[in-house]
Structures are given as C-alpha cells and as structure tokens.
Amino acid sequence: MTGRLVGLFLLVATAGAAQDAAVPVEEEPHHKTVFKNAYMQAFRVTLEPGTTTLMHTHAHDDAAVRLSNATVAADSPGQALGPPEVVSPGLVSARDNEVKPHTHRVHNIGTTLFDVVDVQVLGRPPGPATPPISAPAAENPKMRVYRYDIAPGESTPQHAHTRPYLLVAATDVNLRMASPDGQSMEHPVKAGDMHWVEVAVTHSLRNLGSDKAILVEFELK
C-alpha cells in the first residue's frame, strides 16, 4: 500500500471514529436546556427533517414526552441504524440509564419536525417515597410519568402530589387547575410549556378548549 493510500485510509478511519465519539447529552447541541434545578433538568430537542444529533450519552435516569408527529430512527456506536419509530404528541417513555448509560444518535428520517422534551433526574428531594397516584404511563427508579388525555370540557380526576413534579403540556390547551377549596387558575399553554411544583398539592386539570389536550406529569419518587 502506498503512503498516499495509507494516509487516505487513516483519514477515513479517523473521520469514522470521530463521528461515533459520544459527547455527554448536556453538550449535544440539539438538546437545549429549558428547565433546571437541583433535582431535574429538562431538554427541548427539535430536529428538522433530514437532521441528525451528535452521538451522545444519557448517564442519568430520564423520561421523555414527544410533542409532534414524526418518524425517527437511532443508532449506537458500531451498530446499524435501527428500525423507524413513528411518534405522536403525548407518547411517553422512561429509561434507567444509571445502571448502564445509554449512548445513541437520533435521525429524523421523516418529513416533519421531531419535537420532544427529555427530563433527566439530577438528585432526589428529601422526604419519604410515596405510592403512585395511579398507574404510571412510564417509570424508572427515580420518577413516575403520568399522562392525562382530556377531552374538551372534561377534567382529570382530582389527585394529590406529595412529591415534587414537573408538569409538561404535550399539546396546546386552555387549562384550568382547580383545588378542592374552589380556588382555580386558568391560562392558555403551548405544547412544551412546563410548570415546576415543589409543594404538596391536590388538584384537577380541566380542558377549557375545543380540542383534546394531553398533559404529562413527571413526578420524583
């Protein structure tokens, strides 16, 4: 092999290795921090059609809610691209990344924007663990995820949180939050809007709009 060919081979090999080199999720440029405190960090990830993230590693337990209709696929270092995954607003998932960090790269292989909020746990607030409010839509060792599909004019069952949680809207909604004492708060929210609650609260969530609403609560255990 001539010196020129050896150099070309090394250049290609180095480029491939660099492409597969993973960065922490906090350094992946498509993962924009939109909320962070001592306990949680929320990323808003948007990928235009044909766009790919860098290879990145999730080292904290996390959960996610999709905000758009899209088709994506993912690969891990040294692995072929996985099968297409069709996602829709309100689709939730949770991962246990602290036992084995998850490294991947996400490709938007469809024709629409991929939009997702990914929430990772940074620490546990003080206080005893509590039983679930209802059957979680997803969970890992650090948090439970509750999804509420609310028809126009309807409300969720009244429920009580004694652990801190992050409320994320998966769709646009004109929302009313009502407490048992009759107090309520109304405001329009957009998909991706979020609200952190650290005190114990009992409430119901009512959809004042004309379209179905999907709301997701990420509650720390």
**DSSP class per residue in 120-183:** EE--PPSS-----SS--SEE-SSEEEEEEEE-TT-BPPPEEE-S-EEEEESS-EEEEEE-TTS-
- pLDDT tens sequence across 54-73: 999 999 999 999 999 999 99
pLDDT tier at 9, thresholds 50, 70, 90: very low
Residue pair 206/164 in contact by the 8 Å Cβ criterion: no
13 secondary structure, DSSP code: H
Q: What is the radius of gyration, based on Cα positions, of the chain?
A: 20
Domain 138-220 has CATH 2.60.120.10: yes
Residue pair 128/162 in contact by the 8 Å Cβ criterion: no
Tell me the pTM.
0.89
- pLDDT tens sequence across 153-209: 999 999 999 999 999 999 999 999 999 988 899 999 999 999 999 999 999 999 999
Q: What is the chain's percent helix, strand, coil content, to nearest 5? A: 10, 45, 45
The mean per-residue pLDDT over the stretch 88-116 comes to 98
pLDDT for position 6? 36
Tokens of 154: 């309807």
State the span(s) of the chain assigned CATH 2.60.120.10: 22-121, 138-220
CATH node for 22-121 = 2.60.120.10
d(CA 159, CA 30): 35
Mean pLDDT score across all residues of the chain: 92
* Of 19-28, 120-129, 193-202, the least confident: 19-28
Q: Is the pLDDT of residue 4 over 90?
A: no
pLDDT for position 35? 98
